[in-house]
Amino acid sequence: MKGKTQFGVKGKLASKYVRPYEILEKINLVTYRVALLPVMEHMHNVFHVSILRDYLRDPLLVIEPTHALLKDDYTYEERQIQIVNRRIKRLRNKRISFVKVDWRNHRETYATWEKEEDMMKRSRFISIGSNVLPN
Q: What is the mean pLDDT of each run of 10 residues along the chain (135 residues)?
A: 56 71 89 86 86 78 70 78 88 91 74 86 54 46
Structural domain includes residue 69: no
Confidence (pTM) = 0.39
Residue 58, domain member (yes or no): yes
8 A C-beta contact, residue 78 and residue 109: no
Confidence at residue 129, expressed as pLDDT on a 0 to 100 scale: 42
The predicted pLDDT at position 10 comes to 67
When divided into structural domains, the chain yields a total of 2
Residue 110 lies in a domain: yes
pLDDT at 6: 52
Please tell me the predicted confidence (pLDDT) of residue 32. Answer: 93
The pLDDT value recorded for residue 33 is 92
Cβ density class 85-114: b for 16+ within 10 Å, e for less: ebeeeeeeeeeeebbebeeeeeeeeeeeeb
51 and 92 housed in the same domain: no
* Beta partners for residue 127, in sequence order: 132
Shared domain check, 54 and 1: yes
Give the pLDDT score at 36. Answer: 85
In a domain, 74, yes or no: no
What is the structure's pLDDT at 116?
87
Residues 8 and 58 in one domain: yes
Residue 117 lies in a domain: yes
Residue 4 shares a structural domain with residue 30: yes
Q: Is residue 84 included in any domain, yes or no?
A: yes
Do 5 and 53 fall within a single domain? yes
Give me the domain span that covers residue 119.
79-134
Q: Are residues 10 and 59 in the same domain?
A: yes
